[in-house]
């Protein structure tokens, strides 16, 4: 599933400056596409634009070569699994019930789970290492455990694409790497993954292509080798850096320097 924006401009009510200003990006079908940039650069707004949650002032956001606004919302939910930066659950719910919510787009009103639904839920619980938490109330989980449950819910949808906003921000090293490896394996199976992250080094290690945003505009787009440029990164982040090739991972590594 391909994602594309053409001259996308999004301005929030009451704001004089666009959160996104003329953004062009293209995430090919079956690719691992990382979106990076400083705080306030427009990363989360881009996610909202791609999901049709934020309406553009100008330009277009395309999902599978169709304007996202032309998609039926339930049909879109069947093909895209989304994990936002945060969410609030204000009622008692178990981990298993939360993950099962990923099956809702596939069910008719009042229809109960079938064996296919239960199998998708079991697999999602397993791959996110939360099977042992299935009967726990969501309110008793740590931040990292909750994040893995939210990713499991997205995977339970059996989508054609995953769009994730900082999905590993609360995770320890083990679970962060497991989730990134899982996303890479998902790409190998044909899914398109769009990952919004602050992790330059890990993005360069796992992504096929990267988009670097600065103040709502595209500062660079391309392969990790093309985007991880010392001058560009220093200008975007406002801090001197050195970019070195890491032979162990076979990817660029960014080291901040003294100012």
Burial zone of 26 (CB within 10 Å; 0-12 exposed, 13-18 middle, 19+ buried): middle
Give tens-digit pLDDT for 175-230: 899 889 989 988 998 999 999 999 999 999 999 999 999 999 999 999 999 999 99
Q: What is the pLDDT of residue 87?
A: 78
Distance CA 196, CA 203 (A): 9
Give tens-digit pLDDT for 31-41: 999 999 999 99
Q: Band the pLDDT of 18: cuts 50, 70, 90.
A: very high
Whole-angstrom CA distances from 136 to 4, 65, 87, 254 are 39, 41, 18, 39
For residue 37, give every residue at least 6 positions away whose Cβ sits within 8 Å of its Cβ, in sequence order, or none.
43, 212, 213, 214, 219, 236
User: What angle do helix axes 115-127 and 143-156 make, rounded to 10 degrees?
Assistant: 140
Instruction: Give the residue among 186, 3, 157 at the shortest CA–CA distance from 77.
Output: 157
CB 246 within 8 A of CB 230: no
Sign, CA torsion 115/72/64/180? negative
CB 43 within 8 A of CB 37: yes
Q: Name the 3-class secondary structure at 210.
A: strand
Q: Band the pLDDT of 85: cuts 50, 70, 90.
A: confident
Q: What is the pLDDT of residue 142?
A: 87
- Kindly state the average pLDDT of the residues 121-131: 94
CATH superfamily, domain at 3-256: P-loop containing nucleotide triphosphate hydrolases (3.40.50.300)
The partner residues of 220 in beta bridges, in order of sequence, read 212
Tokens of 230: 């010392």
Q: What is the pLDDT of residue 84?
A: 87
């Amino acid at each position: 599933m391909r994602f594309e924006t053409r001259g996308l401009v999004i301005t929030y009510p009451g704001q004089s400056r666009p959160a996104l200003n003329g953004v062009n990006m293209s995430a090919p079908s079956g690719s691992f596409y990382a979106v990076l940039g400083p705080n306030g650069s427009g990363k989360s707004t881009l996610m909202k634009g791609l999901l049709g949650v934020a309406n553009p002032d100008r330009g277009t956001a395309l999902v599978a070569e169709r304007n996202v606004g032309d998609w039926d919302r339930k049909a879109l939910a069947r093909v895209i699994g989304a994990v936002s930066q945060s969410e609030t659950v204000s009622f008692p719910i178990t981990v298993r019930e939360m993950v099962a919510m990923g099956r809702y787009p596939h069910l008719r009103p009042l229809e109960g789970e079938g064996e296919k639904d239960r199998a998708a839920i079991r697999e999602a619980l397993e791959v996110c290492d939360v099977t042992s938490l299935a009967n726990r109330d969501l309110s008793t989980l740590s931040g990292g455990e909750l994040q893995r449950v939210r990713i499991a819910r997205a995977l339970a949808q059996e989508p054609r694409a995953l769009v994730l906003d900082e999905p590993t921000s609360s995770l320890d090293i083990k679970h962060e790497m497991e989730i990134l490896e899982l996303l890479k394996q998902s790409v190998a199976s044909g899914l398109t993954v769009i990952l919004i992250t602050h992790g330059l080094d890990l993005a360069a290690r796992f992504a096929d292509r990267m988009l670097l945003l600065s103040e709502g505009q595209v500062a660079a787009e391309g392969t990790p080798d093309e985007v991880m440029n010392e001058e560009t990164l220093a200008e975007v982040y406002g801090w001197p850096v050195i970019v070195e090739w890491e032979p162990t991972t076979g990817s660029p590594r960014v080291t901040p320097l003294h100012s």
